[in-house]
Amino acid sequence: MTAFSLDPGRTAWCDELYTLARDELRPLAEKGEPGHVNRPLVAALGGLGLLERLLGSGALDLCLMRESLARGCTEAETALALQGLGSGPVRLAGTEAQRARWLPEVSAGRAVAAFALSEPGAGSDAAALALAARPAPDGGWRLTGEKCWISNAPEADFYTVFARTGEGAGARGVTAFLVPADRPGLTGTPLEMLSPHPIGALDFDGVPVSADDVLGEPGRGFRVAMDTLNLFRPSVGAFAVGMARAALDATLEHTADRTAFGAPLKDLQAVSHQVAEMATRTEAARLLVYAAAAAHDAGEPGVPRRAAMAKLYATETAQYVVDAAVQLHGARALRRGHLLEHLYREVRAPRIYEGATEVQRTIIAKELYAIQETPA
């Protein structure tokens, strides 16, 4: 198998996931309350074995799952992805005790996880974290400060939290902690966002943590965060590709059936050429995502650059495709409840989270110049 083709088994699995998302998970999603964790949906993902597969998958399978689910039900895709992101540091750097306590609960869909990195003053510049972990008399720390734009907050059951323990400036001196939601001093507030995802802010008022809560090593938490994001960045691109494919599917059906000026829309050259452009960009984004995922799983060099390219191009492409689909559908696509109205709200956020488009361009350029300056 190459990075650009899938064996028949994987292709059939993707088709099954898409059908499952469309027919079984979407009805559960529609019963959920926007802006809140849909626990029945999370439990269904666990009951179907998708979360268990998520926790044992590499980047390629993660991308396949996210694309296929997003094409059929964006809420199911997001619920699955947030479980993976929130528990990713536990999977990558957790102790045996931490993994035994939380990963089976996540896998079963009984515990909701969250990745708490961003702060009011540290979004794109993640190394500017200010949440303080101050030494406590018992040998542990007390967390004081804020986190913001945290998916699944404040309703998660545990958070992977990145705080400054003081070993150095910038990326140095950041420690990762596993913080159960019931710790004293931890409170949260939901935030109303453009997309219907559960997102909130967290306030830490002397929240106690100990050495048993550290993920990895003290002072090396930023590496835990980056390793997690390097795994998930290509899959954000896969999420975007899934939305682009859903928009393209709807557009093909609409332009074939809709009549204007005495003929189907598809017979108008301006329309057919627009659809061809949408399809070409979507396929290019898809291949770039899978190339990055395959490189990650193979341990090849240049993974941060490839992951950045995949996220950059796929999220920008999805924005273009969904916008073009809305234009070709006309006013009906602007009506609340229409698939494209839903996708239009969903597609904007991925160009910002897990590293905004501008940050991805910075990563790509930095790595390219580093390659150029490396002695032969």
The question of whether 354 is a catalytic residue gets the answer yes
Question: Distance (Å, rounded) from C-alpha 353 to C-alpha 338?
Answer: 25
**Tens of pLDDT along 282-325?**
999 999 999 999 999 999 999 999 999 999 999 999 999 999 99
The stretch 20-43 carries a mean pLDDT of 96
How many percent of the chain have pLDDT more than 70? 97
Which structural domains are found in the chain, ordered by start? 8-108 (1.10.540.10), 113-218 (2.40.110.10), 223-373 (1.20.140.10)
Contact assessment for residue 52 and residue 46, using Cβ atoms and an 8 Å cutoff: yes
Question: Distance (Å, rounded) from C-alpha 49 to C-alpha 55?
Answer: 10
The yes-or-no verdict on residue 3 having pLDDT over 60 is: no
Contact assessment for residue 225 and residue 131, using Cβ atoms and an 8 Å cutoff: no
How many percent of the chain have pLDDT more than 90? 84
Question: What does the pLDDT read at residue 79?
Answer: 97
- Full DSSP string of 265-323: GGGSHHHHHHHHHHHHHHHHHHHHHHHHHHHHHHT-TTHHHHHHHHHHHHHHHHHHHHH
The yes-or-no verdict on residue 231 having pLDDT over 90 is: no
pTM of the full structure: 0.93
3-state secondary structure of 75: helix
Rounded-to-10 torsion of CA 5, 347, 21, 328: -90
Using pLDDT thresholds of 50, 70 and 90, give the confidence band for residue 372.
Answer: confident
Using pLDDT thresholds of 50, 70 and 90, give the confidence band for residue 36.
Answer: very high
The stretch 103-110 carries a mean pLDDT of 98
Using pLDDT thresholds of 50, 70 and 90, give the confidence band for residue 236.
Answer: very high
- Of 154, 86, 84, 138, nearest in space to 114 by CA: 86
**Tens of pLDDT along 130-174?**
999 999 999 999 999 999 999 999 999 999 999 999 766 667 889
Among 75, 119, 346, 354, the active-site one is 354
The stretch 337-346 carries a mean pLDDT of 96
